[in-house]
Structure 1
Amino acid sequence: MKLWLGDRLTEEADARISPLDRGFTLGDGLFETMRLSGGAVLRLDAHLARLAAGAQVLGLPLPGLDLAGALAATAQANGLSEGVLRLTLTRGTGPRGVLPPAAPSPTLVITAAPAGPALPPARLVIAQTTRRNELSPLAQVKSLNYLDGILARQEAARRGADDAVLLNTRERVAETTIANLFAVIDGALVTPPLADGVLPGVMRAAVMAEGAQERPLAAFDLQRADELFLTSALGIRSVGEIEGRPVSAFAAAERLRARIPGA
C-alpha cells in the first residue's frame, strides 16, 4: 500500500513517524474517515470543514498543502475508485510534558483501503462502563483520544453486541462508539442534539437535511422506538436489536439510502 506522509506519497514499508510524535505519546491530533465513490471523496467540503473546526479547538495548525489533492493522489496511487480514505493529523513532535510546542510542525498521514462488505443490522447495547462528557469541547471534535469508545466497544463485544450506545453524564443518549444514532418514535425521525455530546457527523448532517429533528433522548426512548439506524461517513446501518429487543422496521433507513449518495 502507498500512503501519504507529510508532503508526498511513500510506500507503507518506508513510512517513518517519530516515536516522539504527540499523536503517539498523547493522542494529540485529529482524524477524518471518508467514503471514496466513483473516484471522488463524498462530502469532501464537509469533512475538511470539520477538520478545520477541530484544529481550531485544539490550536493545531493545518498543513499548508492541497489536502484534496493529497487525498486524490493517495486513492489513485492505490488504484482505488471505491473505498475508504483516512486522514490523520497530529501536532507532530514535541518535548516531554503536556504543553504543546509554541511552533508545532504537524504530521499528516493519509491511508487508503478497499470498501468492506455490507453489514447486517446492528445489535446494540447501552454502555455501562463509561459515559460521554457532553461538557467537554472534545465531544464535538473527531480526536485521536478514543479510549471511551474502545472501552464501550469492548463491553459490547463481551455482551455479544456489535456496538454500544453511549449515554452522557445526564443519562441522555449521545451516540454509539463509531456512529450517530437516529430513531423513529411516534412517526417522527429524531436524533440527539449536539449539546448532548454528539459528534457533528457528516452523514448525520445529510440525514438532517432530509427532515430529521433534534430531540433529547433517554434510554427508554430507544426501547420504544419503531426503528433505529446508525450513520457514519461510510453509510447508514439499520439496527436489528437494542438491549435484546428486536427492531424489525427498516423503512426510513432504506428511503434515506435511496436519496443520499453513499448512504
Structure 2
Amino acid sequence: MKLWLGSGLVAQDDAHLSPFDRGFTLGDGLFETLRVREGAVLRLDAHLARLAAGAGVLGLPLPTLDLSAALAATAVANDLTEGVLRLTLSRGTGPRGVLPPAEPNPTLVITAAPLPAPAPPARLVIAQGTRRNDLSPLAQVKSLNYLDNILARQEAARRGADDGVLLNTREGVAETSIANLFAVIGGDLVTPPLAEGVLPGIMRAAVLTEGAGERPLAVEDLSRAEEIFLTSALGIRSVAALEGREVVDRAIAERLRARIPGA
C-alpha cells in the first residue's frame, strides 16, 4: 500500500512519523473519512469544508497543497475505485506542553482501504458511562481525540451491542459513537440539531436535504420510534434494536439508500 505523507506518496514501510507529533502526544488534529465510489470521492467539497471549519476552531493551518489532488493520487496509487480514504491532519511536532507552537508545521497523512462489507442492522444501547459535551466547541469538530466515543463503544461491546447512543449534558440524545442518528417518530423523520452536541455529519446533511427535520430528542422519544437508522460517510445503517426493544421498520432507510449516492 502507498500513502500520502506530507507532500507526496510513499510506500507504507517507508512512512515514519515523529514521536513528538502533537497528533500522537495530545490528539491535536483532525480527520475526515471519505467514501470512494467508481473512482471518485463522494461529497468531497463538503468534507473539505468541514475540515476547514474544524481547522478554524483549532487554529490549525491547512496545508498549502491541493488536498483534492492528493486524495485522488492516493486512490489511484492504490487502485482504489470502491473504498475509503482517511485524511489525517495534525498540528505536527512541538515542544512539551499544551500550548501549540507559534508557527506549526502540520502533518498530513492520507491512507486508502477497501470498502467494508455491509454491516447488519445495528443493536444499540444507551451509553451510561460517558456523555457528549454539547457545551464544547469540539462537539462540532472531527478531532483526533475520540476517547468519549471509544468509551461508549467499549461499553456497548460489554453489553452485547454494536454501538452506544451518546447523550449530552442535558440527557438529550446526541449521536452514537461513530454515527449520526435519525428516527421516525409519529411518521416524522427527525434527527437532533447540532446544538445538542452533534457532529455535522456529511451523510447527515444529505439526508436532511431529503426532507428530514431537526428537533431535540429524549430517550423516551427513541423508545417509541417506528424506525431508527444511523448515518456516516460510509452509508446508512438500519437499527434492529434499542436497549433490547426490537425496531422492525426499515422502509425509509431503504428508500434513502436508493436515492443518495454511497448511502
Task: Identify whether the pair has TM-score above 0.5, normalized to the shorter chain.
Answer: yes
Q: Following TM superposition, by how much is the alpha carbon of 1:126 offset from its aligned partner in structure 2, in angstroms? A: 0.3
Corresponding residue number in structure 2 for 1:246: 246
Residue 200 of structure 1 corresponds to 200
Instruction: Provide the residue aligned with 2:81 in structure 1.
Output: 81
Which whole-Å deviations, capped at 9, do the CAs of 1:47-79 have from their partners, x for residues lacking one? 000000000000000000010000000011011
The equivalent of 2:224 in structure 1 is 224
Question: Secondary structure at the residue paired with 1:200?
Answer: coil
Give 1:158's aligned residue: 158
Residues of 1 paired with 2:254 and 2:45: CA distance?
Answer: 25
One-letter amino acid of the structure 2 residue matched with residue 112 of structure 1: A
Note the 1:1-263 alignment, pairs <5 A.
1-263=1-263
Q: Note the C-alpha offset of 1:103.
A: 0.2
C-alpha distance after superposition, 1:143-190 (max 9, x if no partner): 001000000000000000000000001000000000000000000000
Tell me the secondary structure at the aligned position of residue 230 of structure 1: strand
| SS at 1:86 equivalent | strand
Q: TM-score, normalised by structure 1?
A: 1.00
Deviation string 1:182-219 (CA, Å, 9 cap, x unpaired) is 00000000000100000000000000000100010001
Q: Which amino acid aligns with 2:49?
A: A
**How far apart in 1 are the matches of 2:78 and 2:46?**
24
In the alignment, the residues of structure 1 paired with residue 25 and residue 173 of structure 2 have an alpha-carbon distance, to the nearest angstrom, of 31
State the secondary structure of the residue aligned to 1:240.
strand
How far did residue 253 of structure 1 move?
Answer: 0.2
Post-superposition shift, 1:222? 0.8
TM-score normalized by the length of structure 2: 1.00
3-state SS of paired residue (1:61): coil
Structure-1 separation of matches of 2:134 and 2:26: 21
CA RMSD of aligned residues (A): 0.3
- Cα offset for 1:257? 0.5
The list of structure 1 runs, each at least 4 consecutive aligned residues, that deviate by more than 3 angstroms after superposition, is none
Contiguous gaps of at least 5 residues in structure 2: none
Distance across 2 between alignment mates of 1:241 and 1:167: 17
% of aligned pairs identical?
79
Q: Supply the AA of the counterpart residue of 1:87.
A: L
* Shift, 1:108, TM fit: 0.1
Whichever residue aligns with residue 49 of structure 1, its letter is: A
2:214 partner amino acid: E
CA deviation profile, 1:103-124 (whole Å, cap 9, x unmatched): 0000000000000111100000
Distance 2:95 2:116 in 1: 39
Provide Cα deviations, 1:12-54, integer angstroms capped at 9, x if missing partner.
1100100000000000000000000010000000000000000
Deviation, structure 1 residue 244: 0.3
